[in-house]
Amino acid sequence: MSKGPFYITTAISYVNGVPHLGHAYEAILTDVMARFKRLDGYDVLFLTGTDEHGEKVAKTAEKNGMSPKAFADQNAAHFQAMTKTLNISNDDFIRTTQERHYAASQALWTKLQEKGDIFPSKYEGWYSVREEAYFTEDEVKEGANGQKFGPNGTEVLWVEEPSYFFRLSAYSDKLLELYEKHPEFIQPQSRRNEIISFVKRGLKDLSVSRHKSRLEWGIPVPGDPEHVMYVWLDALTNYITVAGYPEENGEKFQKFWPADRHVIGKDISRFHCIYWPAFLISAGLDLPQAVFAHGFINVQGEKMSKSVGNVLSPDGLVETYGLDQIRYFLMREIPHGQDGNFSHEQAIARINADLANGLGNLAQRTLSMIHKNCDAAIPAPGSYEEADKALLSQIYEKLIPGLRPQADAFQFHNVLANIWKEISDCDSYIDTMVPWKLKKEDPARMQTVLYVLVEAIRCIAIATQPVMPQSSGKILDQLGVPPGERLFAHIDAAHALKSGSKIDAPQGVFPRIVELEPQKEAAG
């Protein structure tokens, strides 16, 4: 029986470039949560996609000698391919150029306008084309040559044009009340503090359209074809588009909205934690449960940059390190909500230590002993000693309950650390029991020890599936675990391995990585 619906989203990626390590990290992070929830019995809707409108896309398309639509089609295909490359289990892929999204965005606009929160006026202010963002005078700094820059270092231009505005200034108190009553709405705490500080300084009404004299690439404003929607009002709407909006009484919308988690980069926190809830409150729609804003990933200690030449592609990373290996490394090495660092040396060290020498070695040597000494079949255990009971009861009773709160907080580095503690306990159990000695001294006891180990490995392999679905699946295949018995609910004695079940000669799942040229294979 399902524990209920769980709706999770990535941010949708701008199509003015191709995927890099940052996109890969966010997709994997969100995928791990989605897989964790599915394995824990939830009915999951997992969304990713591409953000295809706006001035930045139009200008980049023009530079490439292409129409905005042709350029968007070309780069959206790269992001769709990335989901396959990284084994991302998304249930839907939204493109903001789809008809369903035009309908949802225009319906939301109409609702905000009917509420009286959208009105015509004139925009004058600083605008970043690169970030598709507005900045106040006190946020803008002047460079050495007189250029103006926003807080993130991108150039801003002074813009004056007729525009529709959203009455954002009316929502300061409502937003502060939201943050106060629901501290979990913005995660982690450091992002929450930044947003609260910004809102307390006072919010100004937000320009939510572009006149066609400056930009035509966008969703037309209902009732005024001379304007297109501001890209962020359009983009944020994607989350309700996929939930079935504007059919608010539809089965899908009723089931999955509000979203449980929006997973985004920290640089777009303002849009998701200020603009988005204000739009939803105005429209009378429920708010998402939480927005998790992760940090950035540096490469060799430096920010990724084309000019530096350290931009890593998902394809290159998978080719160099292996798919599940790179998924594991990113989830284990990047701390909760903070910036992380990627280096070739770190990746090799972590993958070899934890996967080749850790889980891979534990599974390989246990299954090899069983195949060689137990007639290539799961052994029959005798009566359990205290050490046997302690190892299995720890895994059966405490493993998944201990992981749930960490997973809910996106602390997957701690989730994996706790699973690897169980692997370490298995290694200690082997060292204490010395099954190769028991083969001569007490063969029946050897069978019990090997059974306890292989049963522990079954449970560990089930628990590692969110991060390493293919590799964990290979281990479970070698154990003969049926595909229908690989949920977290199956980590118990009732679904333990059946003695006498034949196994094939074990195959290594995590080969050691040796003699690779640093970075070259992964650069793209």
| Residue 382 contacts residue 447 (beta carbons within 8 Å) | yes
Q: Which of 56, 61, 62, 63 is nearest to 14 (CA)?
A: 56
Torsion-angle region of 284 (φ positive above 0: left; ψ -120 to 50: alpha; else: beta): left
Q: What is the pLDDT of residue 309?
A: 59
Beta strand 340-342 with 297-299 is: parallel
Q: What is the pLDDT of residue 308?
A: 52
Beta strands per DSSP E along 220-378: 220-221, 224-229, 261-265, 291-294, 297-299, 340-342
Q: What is the pLDDT of residue 321?
A: 94
Please write the tens of the pLDDT for every residue from 73-94.
999 999 999 999 999 999 999 9
**Contact partners, residue 291, CB within 8 Å, separation at least 6:** 185, 186, 187, 261, 262, 264, 269, 272, 273, 276
Q: What is the pLDDT of residue 310?
A: 59
Please write the tens of the pLDDT for every residue from 465-488.
999 999 999 999 999 999 999 999
Indicate the residue type of 512.
R
- The three state secondary structure string of 239-300 is HHHHCCCCCCCCHHHHHHCCCCEEEEEHHHHHHHHHHHHHHHHHHCCCCCCCEEEECCEEEC
Q: How many CB atoms lie within 10 A of CB 487?
A: 14
Q: What is the pLDDT of residue 521?
A: 44
Structure tokens at 380: 């029959």
Residue 219: strand, helix, or coil: coil
Q: What is the pLDDT of residue 143?
A: 84
Beta strand 220-221 with 206-207 is: unpaired
pLDDT along the chain (524 residues), means of 10: 95 94 96 98 98 93 95 97 98 98 98 97 83 80 83 85 95 98 95 95 94 92 95 96 98 98 96 98 98 91 61 89 96 89 92 97 97 96 97 98 97 97 98 95 97 98 98 98 97 97 95 66 43
Q: What is the pLDDT of residue 523?
A: 42
Q: What is the pLDDT of residue 307?
A: 54
Structure tokens at 468: 């390493």
Q: Which of 65, 88, 80 is nearest to 19 (CA)?
A: 80
Indicate the residue type of 8.
I
